[in-house]
Amino acid sequence: MDRDFPLNRFDFSSFLEWIQGIEVIPDTITDRETGIEFYGGNTVSREDFICFLENFNEIDNLAQNDAKQDYEKHPQFGVESYQFEPSWVEVSGDKVRVEYIGSFVNTEFNLTFKNRNGVWVLDK
């Protein structure tokens, strides 16, 4: 595992347990452990939302790998310029938009991911 660009860094098991126990998924919910806000969980089926959360690391790993590739092209900016955390996630149909904020550098940006035939891809 790369310590600068960690993979599989999220465990939503407690969050998933809570979601499975509530009657209705609200439009906006926040994972207490990570502070990540999720919007639109009520716009997809409960099963799809749970499946998305179970596979969130797949999406985040794509973002981490993309940042690592950018860093390798421009190492003069320092690794801290390419490290970030998800702030909020908007779920809608077959795509997801994630707002990332810099871990060390004051920056924010959105990445969109699409599910194509059961595989998540970074939409560039």
Q: Which tens digit of pLDDT belongs to each residue from 71-123?
A: 999 999 999 999 999 999 999 887 999 999 999 999 999 999 998 888 899 99
* Residue appearing with tokens 């955390």: 85
Contact 107, 41 (CB under 8 A): no
Report the share of the chain in percent with pLDDT over 90.
Answer: 85
Angle between helices 46-54 and 56-73 (to 10 degrees): 40
* Residue appearing with tokens 């502070």: 35
Q: Which tokens is 9 given?
A: 């860094």
For the chain, domain boundaries: 13-123
